[in-house]
Amino acid sequence: MFQKIVRFLIFVFFKIVLSVRYRVKVKGLEKLSPENLKSPGGVLFLPNHSSVFVDPTIITLALFGKFPIRPIIVEYMFYTPIVNRLMRILNALPIPDLRYTANSIKRKRTKKILEKIAEGLNEGDNFLIYPAGRVKLSRYESVAGASGVHTILSMRPEANVVLVRSEGLYGSIFSTALTGKVEPMFGGIFRGIKIALKNLIFFGPRREITLEFMPAPADFPRTASRIELNHWLEVWYNRPYETLHDTSPPKELPGEQVYLVPHSLWSSDVPKIDLKRKEETDIDLDAVPEGVRHRIYEKVALLANRNQATLDDATDLAQDLGLDSLDGAELIAFLEEEFSITGVPPQELTTSVNYWGSPHVRWSSRRKRNKRRFSTSSFGIAPSAMRRSRRLFPAKR
């Protein structure tokens, strides 16, 4: 009883706070009926991910009372002092963050959490999980090779699935539209507080947001391969909003348009978009030893369950092969084991030999188990945060 009261107070608090800046229109809740969600157990909600903090919060608030959500939150945020107390009240599940470091322990913990989600669905828990696994870096929602949803559905193929599409958040300070980078959650919250105070709290311009809920249609590929499932989701998230309920393939996939709203009631000026791209570095592919190239191809082919002969230097690890962060963690472990490479950021492992031959990669005469040894602080690092390509070897320019 006490927890229910606390949850209700939390709901009221966030409802009031978010109403200062956002006006949310909810569609499709009436379709979330027993007739459309026939399987016993809980519901798996699958939204697009336009912003940090705001979109999971407004979705949870929209479902409050009818479908209480059990949150899934990355570990570093889960264990933040204030957030931790709130997450424990909501019975949240902490999941390892594989963006910056990855190892076998994190991989095992991640798989364990996915198993808990499948078990929770059996027990009637409702979960909100983002198929893409991260905030989108452009107006296009890229699910690429993410495996979380596919893994859950492989354990619970009959689970109730609800698709969620939000419109209106791409362009907010919590999105990547303005700078190309993900805004730290607390930094965005403090900026939002300053904006509210500047507008005398209740008088600032409001951002119009639309939330659309739709039970998974009959053609939802719940038992398909990871690549097929992710492609289906990408098409649904990026098709024109007015065609969400169409069964025919869309003619185009425009994604979500940037929506800019003034930050002040005293001015109609909107925030400026300032996307800064880093310069990319040319890579001498001739410097890649043939033996190293062969071993990397062999490992990637094994992870992707592909014939090695079908791979080439332009093969995209995520889009073409369906590899995700867990596979990336295994690749990093492989690089450490085979070549003694350490310090590879998982989110930047976009190419097999990026920056090969640069000052960051140094061949050493020291040997380890009859293998040449080299070290690097940026082996495989993508030169631009905006670049999503995860290729075996970058194309020459």
CB atoms within 10 A of CB 363: 12
Q: Specify the residue for token string 């065609």.
A: 243
pLDDT of residue 130: 93
Count of alpha carbons within 13 angstroms of residue 156, beta-carbon side: 23
Q: How far apart are CA 52 and CA 79, in angstroms?
A: 17
Residue 55 contacts residue 75 (beta carbons within 8 Å): no
Nearest to 78 by CA among 69, 68, 90, 66: 90
Residue 107 contacts residue 332 (beta carbons within 8 Å): no
Helical H runs in 207-289?
226-238
3-state helix, strand and coil shares in percent for the chain, rounded to the nearest 5: 35, 15, 50
Q: Specify the residue for token string 């071993």.
A: 295
Q: What is the pLDDT along the chain (397 residues), one digit of tens a residue?
A: 777 888 899 999 999 999 999 999 999 999 999 999 999 999 999 999 999 999 999 999 999 989 999 988 888 888 888 888 888 888 899 988 776 666 677 788 889 999 999 999 999 999 999 999 889 989 999 998 788 999 999 999 999 999 999 999 999 999 999 998 887 888 889 999 999 999 999 899 999 999 999 999 999 999 999 989 999 999 999 999 888 888 788 888 899 999 999 999 988 999 998 877 655 555 666 777 777 777 888 888 887 777 777 777 767 776 667 676 677 777 777 777 777 766 666 555 554 444 333 333 443 333 344 333 333 333 333 333 333 444 555 554 4
Q: Which fold has domain 2-243?
A: Glycerol-3-phosphate (1)-acyltransferase (3.40.1130)
Nearest to 110 by CA among 327, 381, 317, 345: 327
Class of domain 285-375: mainly alpha
β-strands 371-375, 69-70: how paired? Answer: unpaired
Count of alpha carbons within 13 angstroms of residue 359, beta-carbon side: 0
Q: How far apart are CA 10 and CA 89, in angstroms?
A: 10
Convert 220-232 into a string of H (helix), E (strand) and C (coil). CCCCCCHHHHHHH
H or E segment at 163? strand 160-167
* Domain boundaries along the sequence of the chain: 2-243, 285-375
